[in-house]
Structure 1
Amino acid sequence: MSHSIVELAGETLWLLASKAMYWPARKMLIVADIHFGKATAFRSLGVPVPRGTTTENLQALSHLLAAHVCEEIVFLGDFLHAKAAHAPATLAAMQAWRVRHAHLRLTLVRGNHDLQAGDPPASLGITMVDEPHRVGPFALCHHPHLETDGYVLAGHVHPVFHLRAARETVRLPCFLLGPRRAILPSFGAFTGGHALKPLPGELVYVTADAAIFRVPGQGPDTLECLVPSIKNQ
């Protein structure tokens, strides 16, 4: 299964196996923590890490756009990893991708790395906003613990979940859905992850290759009962 359909705050959302969220009613893709230029930043410090992660991230975005009717991408913070992400080769690749998708609206909710790296070049045509960015019943944020009205969609923590079977363990990116917030996995190709233990009432959806599935035994049977205070706003 390439996506799971959930209902949050009265809206239908798709959790994509490619570690993004799709909001069909708004024709919107929501992406967290892409961290463009992270590998470049590491190499600038003398750390030998793989090349090609910017191209990989851009190709992943293009595949999503080819598969879904989309008018806007909202990035939930940490678009650029550091000032080194302004390297000419990184920006040139991003600019070439932007030219191919000139019709697309791009919105960036500033995260902690964006504050350090600085805003991306104006030539990329990205609308910059601070958290919380309100759209319908949702507060689009970078930090998941921000106190705000609305159901929070956020990133920042790069959530992963450890699935165990007998003596085997596998570590997989995941969506974490709770009563007042949903945390998206990191979309970037070179970002790592932080293992989270779900709290009572939270659901976990893990992604593996082209599949996404809910971890059994986590949370209630339906998401509808998780959001009674803001549903149908």
Structure 2
Amino acid sequence: MTPNAELNLAGERLVLRADHSLFWPAGATLFVADTHFGKGGVFRRQGVNVPAGTTEADLARLERALRETGARRLIVLGDFVHAPPACDEPWLARFADWRARHAGIDIVVIRGNHDRMRELPIDLGVDFLTGSRVTGPFVCRHEPAYDTRGPVLAGHIHPAVRLADGSECVRCPVFWRYAGGLVLPAFCSFAGGGRINPAVGDRMFAVGAGEVVEVGLSRPERATRQG
């Protein structure tokens, strides 16, 4: 049994992965949203006690996803960074080392609301784009929307639902298939979840316990596992 789920969008097979990434096999492309690199450091500088090591953990997950899928291109759907970084921030050096090991991967970032810098302090081999980018049948952008050019792949809202399993109720990140496209969960391991208001006919795929399962809403923000 695979821990991932699959979805057909615009006639293309997409793999919704338990690590919060999305793989498009025909385009050899891996999509992630809201990596928020440097977020932990920003909070610690503000005196907030948050766990360290999130950058290493997230880069390890990303490396594993690229290896398992064989993707040749990575598209980040906005909020690559949490805040404009200074040149001496530790995560930059860690990412630079990681990037050197994956020099053959094309990396594109669709700028999000947190990506306010004109450029990074050091060259990480990342191509930043403003607005949206058409990739195959998909429109890649940061915020969910409707687009006449095709289904939108987006992030921004960190979609999550409360999943009821017997007497327990846990909050789970989800891939949210809405009429205009697909919203990915935040890839950052230090990210909260945002409330969503799915419409009739929307589909949601919850991520938890190392697997992706489709869920159905029984009442607002409360979901039950299907199958």
Q: 2:18 matched to which residue of 1?
A: 17
CA contact (8 A) 1:143 1:155 kept: yes
CA contact (8 A) 1:27 1:70 kept: yes
Structure 1 unaligned segments of length 5 or more: list them: 219-233
After superposing the two structures, state which structure 1 stretch, 150-159 or 129-138, moved more: 129-138
Q: 1:105 matched to which residue of 2?
A: 106
Q: 2:169 matched to which residue of 1?
A: 169
Q: Which amino acid aligns with 1:209?
A: A
How far is the alpha carbon of 1:197 from its aligned partner?
3.2
How far is the alpha carbon of 1:173 from its aligned partner?
0.8
TM-score (norm 1): 0.87
CA contact (8 A) 1:176 1:204 kept: yes
Relative to total residues, which structure has the larger helix share, 1 or 2?
A: 1
Residue by residue over 1:174-216, the C-alpha shift from the partner in whole angstroms, topping out at 9 and shown as x without a partner, is 0000222210000001111113232111000001132111014
How far is the alpha carbon of 1:217 from its aligned partner?
6.1
Q: How do 1:119-198 residues align onto structure 2 when only pairs under 5 Å count? A: 119-121=119-121, 123-145=123-145, 147=147, 149-198=149-198
Q: 1:228 matched to which residue of 2?
A: none
Q: 1:222 matched to which residue of 2?
A: none
SS in 1 for 2:207: strand
How far is the alpha carbon of 1:83 from its aligned partner?
2.3
CA contact (8 A) 1:107 1:127 kept: yes
Residue by residue over 1:82-134, the C-alpha shift from the partner in whole angstroms, topping out at 9 and shown as x without a partner, is 1246543111000000011111100000000002x453345211111122111
How far is the alpha carbon of 1:148 from its aligned partner?
5.1
Q: 1:42 matched to which residue of 2?
A: 43
Runs of 4+ in 1 over 6 A off after TM superposition: none
TM-score (norm 2): 0.90
Distance 1:34 1:189 in 2: 8
CA contact (8 A) 2:87 2:122 kept: no
CA contact (8 A) 2:139 2:147 kept: no
SS in 1 for 2:5: strand
Distance 1:141 1:210 in 2: 27
CA spacing shift, 1:155–1:51, aligned 2, 3 Å: same
Q: 2:73 matched to which residue of 1?
A: 72
Q: Give identity over the alignment, percent.
A: 37
CA contact (8 A) 1:37 1:86 kept: no
SS in 2 for 1:73: strand
Relative contact order, CA 8 A, sep 6+: which one is greater?
Answer: 1
Does 2:205 correspond to 1:205? yes
Residue by residue over 1:43-100, the C-alpha shift from the partner in whole angstroms, topping out at 9 and shown as x without a partner, is 1111111111111110110110121111000000000101246543111000000011
